[in-house]
Amino acid sequence: MQFKQSIAAFERAQKSIPGGVNSPVRAFKSVGLNPVFVKRAKGTTITDLDGNQYIDCLASWGPLLFGHAYDQILTAISEAAVKGTSFGAPSEYETEMAERIIKMVPSIEMVRMVSSGTEATMSAIRLARGYTGREAFVKFAGNYHGHGDSFLIKAGSGAMTLGIPNSPGITVGTAKDTLMAEYNNLASVEKLFKEKGNEIAAVILEPVAGNMGVVVPTKEFLQGLRDLTTKYGALLIFDEVITGFRLAKGGAQEYYGVMPDLTTLGKIIGGGLPVGAYGGRKEIMEMMAPVGPVYQAGTLSGNPLAMAAGITMLKLVEETKDLYTELERKSAKLEQGIRKNLEATGVPGVINRVGSMMTLFFTSAKQVTNLEEAMTADTSKYANYFKHSLESGIYLAPSQFECLFVSYAHTDDEIERMIAANLQALKQMKN
């Protein structure tokens, strides 16, 4: 493979955009490569500027559950576009989207649309503070909830990848209200509640972590958080920006049977367009302006094109009867294939998977159940693995601390090709 056009494009982009990218993790810094610039994508195939083609395992970081440029989504967007691209006034697209989310996500009785996952989580924390009258909230080391000030403390995803989990620019005043706990460690949360129980407005978490790589919650952990937050009158917020509609129609809360007070959504509900949402019980959500006093707004919130794409996506989720059984079957097949390859090559690794989200950690640790254990992964090994995979036509997340996503569009043949490419990359890493 040659990357001449992408290299030139990246040089050009760096003159006008910081780092040449509009989101840091896209710069391929942690894998030490020049990012490929995408020319087009369809289904599971990405084509870069140099004409190289890849099987896509990133799905634009999660949204593309049915693959790129899905015909029904394209049609919905174009049919909406000819009627106007933004009204700044209510439209029935928004009501239909809200009704679908309410129907599918068990704990949501009312929902507000925004334009990104970050907006959703920022708004959910503000709402929890307004609803409880308390200021502090608990997050977990390694969880990423977008780039809102109060979250960029021991954050995962790109912040972790680039080694800036505590970003400059966050004031002491803001940081003091963000209490840190350890994922899968209920005692670390109990300790905070014992010390500051009546000051804590909420506990927010990724119900299955994806932003330190995939880390699976123990059942006791999620249920324990539900019990603790109820006991102390704090809200439990599930950040389902990744897991929403990916793990089940009703996301992780349906998959694990634990109901949060608020849920944040993004990615899949936009069908590839900019959408976020937050929702929960009516008596909480009605704290939001213009009904209640908690303010949140957005020029493009509920944008008709994004709603048309999202409505079509949620229709597809509802109508595809074998969606989750197929996602599970293909993902399990990929996981088993990689496990066999690890055994065959003797390369040490831990695979964490829930449904169609998984991570291969290059670590000799026995397990990865929290950030400390995730950090034992050898990121230079991952960079080497990523490079070999890319050159054999597999497009993975350019970071050890992210997810591989299987989509409904992946064929069995592509899963076989991913397993074969994994074996080749593991062998090349050993040389």
Point out the residues that are catalytic.
Answer: 144, 239, 267
Q: How far is the CB of 168 from ligand KE4 (least distance, A)?
A: 18
Q: Rounded distance, CA 144 to CA 164, Å?
A: 12
Under the criterion CB under 6 A, does residue 121 sit at the interface with ligand KE4?
A: yes
**Does 239 participate in binding ligand KE4 (rule CB under 6 A)?**
yes
Question: Which segments within 14-93 are labelled E, that is strand?
Answer: 38-42, 45-48, 53-56
Shortest gap between Cβ of 90 and ligand KE4 (angstroms)?
Answer: 23
Instruction: Tell the residue number behind the tokens 């909420």, with chain if given.
Output: 202
Within 13 Å of residue 226, how many CA atoms lie on the same side as its CB? 17
User: Considering the rule CB under 6 A, would residue 14 count as an interface residue with ligand KE4?
Assistant: no
Q: Is 405 helix (H, G, I), strand (E, B) or coil?
A: strand
Asked if residue 266 binds ligand KE4 (CB under 6 A), the reply is yes
By CB neighbour count within 10 A (0-12 exposed, 13-18 middle, 19+ buried), where does 355 fall? buried
Q: Give the binding-site size for ligand KE4 (rule: CB under 6 A).
A: 21
Helix count (H) and strand count (E) of the chain? Answer: 15, 14
- Joined together, the tokens standing for residue 415 give 């899963």
Does 139 engage in binding with ligand KE4 (CB under 6 A)? no
Which of 157, 263, 331, 370 touches ligand KE4 (CB under 6 A)?
157
Q: What is the DSSP letter of 201?
A: E
Binding of ligand KE4 at residue 251 (CB under 6 A)? no
Contacts of 28 (CB under 8 A, 6+ apart): 34, 35, 398
117 binding ligand KE4? (CB under 6 A): yes
Comparison of 24 and 106: residue with beta carbon closer to ligand KE4: 24
**Smallest distance from the beta carbon of 101 to ligand KE4, in angstroms?**
16
Q: Which of 118, 150, 379, 407 binds ligand KE4 (CB under 6 A)?
A: 118
Residue 211 binds to ligand KE4 (criterion: CB under 6 A): yes
CB of 202 closer than 8 Å to CB of 260: no
User: With binding defined as CB under 6 A, does residue 273 bind ligand KE4?
Assistant: no
Q: Which residue has the tokens 């089940």?
A: 248
Near ligand KE4 by CB under 6 A, which window of 86-94, 221-229, 237-245, 336-344?
Answer: 237-245
What does the buried/exposed string (b/e) look like for 336-351 if buried means 16 or more CB atoms within 10 Å of the residue's CB? Answer: ebbeebbeebebebbb
Q: Which stretch binds ligand KE4 (CB under 6 A): 46-54, 234-242, 287-295, 322-330?
A: 234-242
Strand partners, 209: 215
The site map against ligand KE4 for 44-73 (x = CB under 6 A) is -----------------x------------
Exactly one of 73, 402, 407, 422 binds ligand KE4 (CB under 6 A); that residue is 402
The 3-state DSSP class for residue 231 equals helix
Provide the token pair at 299.
């020029």
Stretch that binds ligand KE4, among 138-146, 170-178, 219-227, 378-386 (CB under 6 A): 138-146
Q: What are phi and psi of 345, to 5 degrees?
A: -95, -15
Between 240 and 373, CB nearer to ligand KE4: 240
> Rounded to the nearest whole angstrom, what is the least distance from the CB of residue 147 to ligand KE4 in the complex?
7
Contact set with ligand KE4 (CB under 6 A)? 23, 25, 61, 116-118, 121, 144-146, 157-158, 206, 210-211, 239, 241-242, 266, 276, 402
